[in-house]
Structure 1
Amino acid sequence: MKILVINAGSSSMKFTLYSMENEQILAKGLFERLGYDKPNMVYKRPDGYKFEAEIPVKNHVEALKKICEKLVDPEDGVLKSLSEITAIGHRVLHGGEKITAPVKIDDKAKEIIRECFPLGPLHNPANLAGIEACEEEMPGVPNVGVFDTQFHMTMPPEAYLYAIPYDFYKKYGIRKYGFHGTSHHYVTLATAKFLNQKVEDTTIITCHLGNGCSMAAVKNGKVIDTTMGLTPLEGLMMGTRCGDLDPAAVIRLVDLGHTTAEVDKILNKQSGLYGVGDINSGDMRDMLAAAEKGSERAELALKMFARRIVKYIGAYYVLLDGPQAISFTGGVGEFSVPMRKRIMDQLGSLGLKLDDGRNAECFGKAGVISTDDSSWKAIVMPTDEELMIARSVVDTLHLK
């Protein structure tokens, strides 16, 4: 059984092909700069083979055609025919309140994805374009949507509602939805297995740190709160996103003459580490290097980044009445030994202490980084959103 996973962005298309008998990756890669000059394709196999070239394609449909051609190429491919693909799984950002689980794509599902365009203007149109490209290129092959919001749909109203007039929620769907759900779900399941317990007995904080950052409070395997909100802008400080902000700051910027489009760009693409640091980068590695060389603004950005995370850990610790563990994941959570130390060194009052040796050893691999005498565990747990999507396709279509 072979499952193709597609993650279509506004100007990109990532793909991973799995053999689900052993959950082995057969091929993976991406198209970048779709709709711009010099679109670039990367194609990799697990045996080390890599193909990279500029290929002139205009849109997601043309990109998918080239991906499919590569998958069945007599020399470079891993399939004899596209008919070997059993089903296709798609990452979709937003399903609103109407889609709360992975769903086989039909006209109704596509209409809901379209209805959510205003809630995910950059992602949902691209996600739908990826679905429709697959329908065109591989007619008859079932497509399954796996939504970033779905794992967070267990939040109670007191967690997901904003303290604004209730009619705005009823009329416009303005509420906290949460994102990175596929990653938080995978890490929850993986942490439960790591702790050798059932997921329904697992109460943890999941901490997804990358260019985008979010946390979730997971009680007995279900999310009761998460940091991202109506959009992926709320919550933690991120690579280029501001995170939590007084709404009056937005009003002030508009009053000063900035258009709403300009403010949106400022808060999403020019803020966070990028906006506070002075190095023209939102990359954690660059920020740490700059701070090491004496940049005061880089150091300030790092302190702000860690402080926001520590504040949410404290809040979620109380909400969960003492979790069993916190799991760090994502590019920063898995690989940034220094940032994990900055966070962990502030958690002693919660009974959680860092083992520096373990922290250094857990570079991109699962393991406990807290001391044995800590009252709960800090864990590094690599995420795998693509595999989670592939597993969801198998479960949704009852392919086992």
Structure 2
Amino acid sequence: MKILVLNAGSSSIKYQVFGMDEQQVLAGGLIDRIGEAGGEMASHHEALEQIIQRLQAAGIAGIDAIGHRVVHGGEHFKQPALIDAAVVDTIRAMIPLAPLHNPANLEGIEVAQRLFPGIPQVAVFDTAFHQTMPPVAFRYALPVELYQQHKVRRYGFHGTSHQYVAQQAAAYLQRDLADLNLITLHLGNGCSAAAIAGGKSIDTSMGMTPLEGLVMGTRCGDIDPALHFYLHRETGLSADDVESLFNKKSGLKGLCGVGDMREVQALADSGDTDAQLAEAMFAYRVKKYVGAYIAVLGRIDAVVFTGGIGEHSARIRAQVCANLQVFGVHPDLDRNTAHTAGILEFQQEAATLKLLVIPTNEELEIARSTARELLRRS
């Protein structure tokens, strides 16, 4: 079976084709700046036509199914969904919850349906994995009618990544996922933590939107909600201005002027005190969530680092793990700096709590989820 995975953004489409027998990438690429001045493609339709041409040139034919990344599925989707008119309508109804993402995801779906008629297509939702959270974790302390009428609650994101590395951790440890308690840390430009008990998400750091939680590249993460009112009153910023400030101009970028952790660390090493603080705040916030989730889980088998920063920054991993010995976190700093193409294990020899670095592969997880959904319906 060949599965094409599409991740359609507002001005880009990332794609990969997987041969599911070996779960190997047969082709992949990115078309960006769609619809922008100077961009190659004027529309998502043209971009997908270009992808088809690229696949044909690579000798890849006979796509059996298409898996689409969709950011927000609300409470409607607890698992991947075979796309039909009702699913499309529901994704459209979720646009108010993810106005920056769902419209682009939906456009990718609708264009793919036109260009690949008759081929089954599956929506895989970033929020679905976290639909196992209990109300004590997903509800906000707000009037109940806001939840009942407007679905104001915590949803969580990066679900495909958290699910993938949890499965990989179980396979690596040769344990049944149902018997494991894990904390997974997806640390990249966007960041989130998840508490996973027996393979199910029971809490996660992102909320109704991806803004809540950890310090990120350009997002502030957890802040006092009253800041919105203060900034509006004292600076005259509109609601749209504040939303842009918190999402695009804050986080690492707001603290020291750059949002890429590699640049932050280079500045910190040169003596830039703002960058030093930004790096320290980033790790400190992650550490707080690790401690909180150990308390939530009660028993913890492994902490898993993934994402661009989680996989490649040994010093962030070391800062996160420092001073957590009381919880059984005992990093081996030499092993932590080792380079490996696969899974890295870096706890001390006698430690029972595993510290793992597992490369994420969200596209492969979307392909797997697509195949499972088609098998379930066959």
TM above 0.5: yes
Counterpart of 2:239 in structure 1 is: 260
2:84 maps to a residue whose letter is: D
Computed over aligned residues only, the root mean square deviation of the Cα atoms, in angstroms, reads 1.2
- Please give the TM-score of this superposition, normalised by the length of structure 1: 0.92
Matched, 1:274 2:253: yes
The CA deviation at 1:375 is: 3.9
**Cα distance in 1 for residues equivalent to 2:305 and 2:200:** 18
Matched, 1:64 2:55: no
**Cα distance in 1 for residues equivalent to 2:315 and 2:152:** 37
Q: Is the 8 A contact 1:211 1:282 kept in 2?
A: yes
**Cα distance in 2 for residues equivalent to 1:221 and 1:329:** 17
Q: Which runs of 5+ in 2 are unaligned?
A: none
Secondary structure of residue in 1 paired with 2:318: helix
More helix by share: 2
2:56 maps to a residue whose letter is: V
Cα gap change, 1:273/1:364 in structure 2, threshold over 3 Å: closer, same or farther?
A: farther
- Please give the TM-score of this superposition, normalised by the length of structure 2: 0.97
Q: Is the 8 A contact 1:309 1:343 kept in 2?
A: yes
Counterpart of 1:190 in structure 2 is: 168
Q: Is the 8 A contact 1:151 1:182 kept in 2?
A: yes
The CA deviation at 1:363 is: 5.2
Matched, 1:27 2:11: no
1:252 maps to a residue whose letter is: Y
**Cα distance in 1 for residues equivalent to 2:23 and 2:158:** 22
**Cα distance in 2 for residues equivalent to 1:229 and 1:119:** 11
Q: Is the 8 A contact 1:334 1:365 kept in 2?
A: no
The CA deviation at 1:78 is: 2.7
Counterpart of 1:173 in structure 2 is: 151
Counterpart of 2:59 in structure 1 is: 78
The aligned runs of 1:1-40 (5 Å cut-off) are 1-39=1-39
Q: Is the 8 A contact 1:151 1:185 kept in 2?
A: yes
The CA deviation at 1:219 is: 0.7
Counterpart of 1:118 in structure 2 is: 96
Cα gap change, 1:102/1:13 in structure 2, threshold over 3 Å: closer, same or farther?
A: same
Matched, 1:299 2:280: no
The CA deviation at 1:364 is: 5.4
Secondary structure of residue in 2 paired with 1:72: helix
Counterpart of 2:350 in structure 1 is: 373
Q: Is the 8 A contact 1:334 1:363 kept in 2?
A: no
User: Quick check: 183-192 or 28-37, which moved more?
Assistant: 28-37
2:224 maps to a residue whose letter is: D
1:30 maps to a residue whose letter is: L
- Percent identity of the aligned residues? 47
Secondary structure of residue in 1 paired with 2:88: helix
**Cα distance in 2 for residues equivalent to 1:288 and 1:225:** 30
**Cα distance in 1 for residues equivalent to 2:22 and 2:375:** 17
Counterpart of 1:45 in structure 2 is: none
User: Quick check: 364-373 or 100-109, which moved more?
Assistant: 364-373
**Cα distance in 1 for residues equivalent to 2:258 and 2:114:** 39
**Cα distance in 2 for residues equivalent to 1:364 and 1:336:** 14
Secondary structure of residue in 2 paired with 1:85: coil
The CA deviation at 1:362 is: 4.3
The aligned runs of 1:324-339 (5 Å cut-off) are 324-339=301-316
The CA deviation at 1:350 is: 1.7
Structure of greater relative contact order (alpha carbons < 8 Å, 6+ residues apart): 2
Secondary structure of residue in 2 paired with 1:178: coil
1:250 maps to a residue whose letter is: H
